[in-house]
Amino acid sequence: MGKINYIEGTGIPPRSFDQEFLTHKKCSEWWYCTGYLEDGKGSLFGFQFTLAKISLFGLRPHLLICSVTDFRDNKHYNTQTPILFHKGVSATSDLLSVDGKASMSFSPDNLSSKGKMQLEMSGPSFSLEASLDASKPPVWHCDNGVLQMGIQGDKEKTYYYSFTNIKAAASLALNGETFSDLHGKAWFDRQGGTYTITDPRTCWEWLSLRFFDNTEAMIFAFPQDNYYDGTFIAQDGARERLNNYKLEAIDVITYEGKKFSNGWKLEMKSKKYSIEPKASGMFNVFFFELLADIKDESSQAVGYCFVELLPGVRNKLNNLDALKKKKG
C-alpha cells in the first residue's frame, strides 16, 4: 500500500525545502536522481531514478523511470512504469517508492533534513543499491527557486531546487555481473509547477555540469524561445544565478524520427567549454538523455555533464505527442 503526503499550493513562491518536497495536487512535478559510478578499473556506469506525477486533463498519473547505462559497451537498460490512481506509490517526507520496483529514502545529516539517501531500484537486467551522502546543502535555482518555463505568464513557472553534489557508494548487478564497490557522484532534483506540459514552447534542454573541482552548474535552456536560466554552485555551496551564458549546439542527430541537439559549446563565467557526448543517448518516454564529457579550451576533461532534451525544442511535437508515439 502506498502513502502520499500532500501540501496546499503550487510551490510558487517557494516555501521551505521540506515543504516543497511534498506532493502538490495541482502540479506536474518530479523527483529525479542521476549519477555516475566507477569501479577504479576503468569501468563507468550511469544511473537514473525518476518518479513523476503528471497533471493532464484532470488526471494525475505517476510515472516511474529507472535506468542504468554501461559505458563499457554503451548499452542502456531501463524500465518505464505508468501508474494510475497512485496504486502502490509512496511520496512522503522521507520516502519515495513504487511497490516492488524502486525506493528512495531520506534521513537527516548535518547539512539538511534529507542529506542522507538510500536508493534501490531494479529492472529485468539490473539491480542497484546506492548510499548517497550530500556534500553540500540543497540550493534554490534561478530566480530564488522559480524557473520561468520558456514563455511568460504566471502559470508557466516551476519551483526548483537540487542537491548538486552527492557522494555515491553502490553495488550493481548487471546482466549476471556483480560490481560491489562502485563510487561516484549523484545529483537530486525536486521540481514542478502548473506550466503547460503540452506546449512545445515549455520543452527544454537541461544540462547538469558536475566539475571535478567540486563546483556545479545547472543550465535550463529553451532555445526555441531564446530563454536561458540556470545556477552556478561554488565549492562552498554558495549559489549564483546563471543566466548570461552562451550555449550553442554543434550538431543535431535524429533518433526514432525526432531531432535532438548533440554536443554543445558553452561560454560561462569567462570560460569556454565543449560538451561532448560519451555515447549515444536513450529516449525515456518524454525525454532524450545522455552523459557527456566537459572539456576545457585545452581539451582536458574537467567534469561530466548529464543532459536531458525534450523533443519539442527541435520538432513539431509536444510532450503529449511524444508519449503517444512511445506507447504506439
Q: What is the mean pLDDT of residues 260-282?
A: 96
Confidence class for position 55, pLDDT limits 50, 70, 90: confident
What is d(CA 304, CA 278) in angstroms, rounded to the nearest whole number?
A: 9
pLDDT in tens, 144-170: 999 999 999 999 999 999 999 999 999
What is d(CA 33, CA 48) in angstroms, rounded to the nearest whole number?
A: 6
Instruction: For the chain, give percent helix, strand, coil, nearest 5.
Output: 5, 55, 35
Confidence class for position 25, pLDDT limits 50, 70, 90: very high
What are the CA-CA distances from residue 257 to residues 65, 79, 253, 276 (Å)? 22, 21, 10, 22
Report the SS3 class of residue 311: helix
Report the SS3 class of residue 28: strand
Indicate whether 322 pLDDT > 80: no
At 224, give phi and psi (nearest 5°): -65, -20
Please give the mean pLDDT across all residues of the chain.
Answer: 94
Report the SS3 class of residue 103: strand
Indicate whether 188 pLDDT > 90: yes
Which pLDDT does position 68 carry in this prediction? 97
Confidence class for position 29, pLDDT limits 50, 70, 90: very high
Distance of CA 262 to the CA centre of its chain: 18
What is d(CA 112, CA 25) in angstroms, rounded to the nearest whole number?
A: 25
Confidence class for position 327, pLDDT limits 50, 70, 90: very low
What is d(CA 132, CA 77) in angstroms, rounded to the nearest whole number?
A: 21
- All structural domains of the chain with their residue ranges: 6-327
pLDDT in tens, 65-115: 999 999 999 999 999 999 998 899 999 999 999 998 999 999 999 999 999
Confidence class for position 187, pLDDT limits 50, 70, 90: very high
Which pLDDT does position 92 carry in this prediction? 98
Buried b (16+ CB within 10 A) or exposed e, 22-32: bbbeebbbbbb
pTM reported for the whole predicted model: 0.95
Q: What is the mean pLDDT of residues 309-325?
A: 73
Instruction: Count CB neighbours of 41 within 10 A.
Output: 6
Nearest residue to 287 via CA among 248, 244, 317, 328: 317
Indicate whether 219 pLDDT > 90: yes
Which pLDDT does position 318 carry in this prediction? 58
221 by Cβ neighbours in 10 Å (0-12 / 13-18 / 19+) ranks as buried
Which pLDDT does position 328 carry in this prediction? 41
Instruction: Determine the CATH number of domain 6-327.
Output: 2.40.370.10
What is d(CA 293, CA 210) in angstroms, rounded to the nearest whole number?
A: 10
Q: What letter does residue 326 receive in the DSSP assignment? A: H
Nearest residue to 65 via CA among 81, 76, 88, 54: 81
**Residue percentage of the chain with pLDDT more than 90:** 89
What is d(CA 294, CA 152) in angstroms, rounded to the nearest whole number?
A: 31
Indicate whether 286 pLDDT > 90: no
Q: Contact at 8 Å (CB) between 142 and 11?
A: no
Indicate whether 225 pLDDT > 60: yes
**Residue percentage of the chain with pLDDT more than 70:** 96
Report the SS3 class of residue 201: helix
CB-hemisphere CA count at 13 Å for 85?
2
Which pLDDT does position 47 carry in this prediction? 97
Nearest residue to 98 via CA among 172, 1, 222: 1
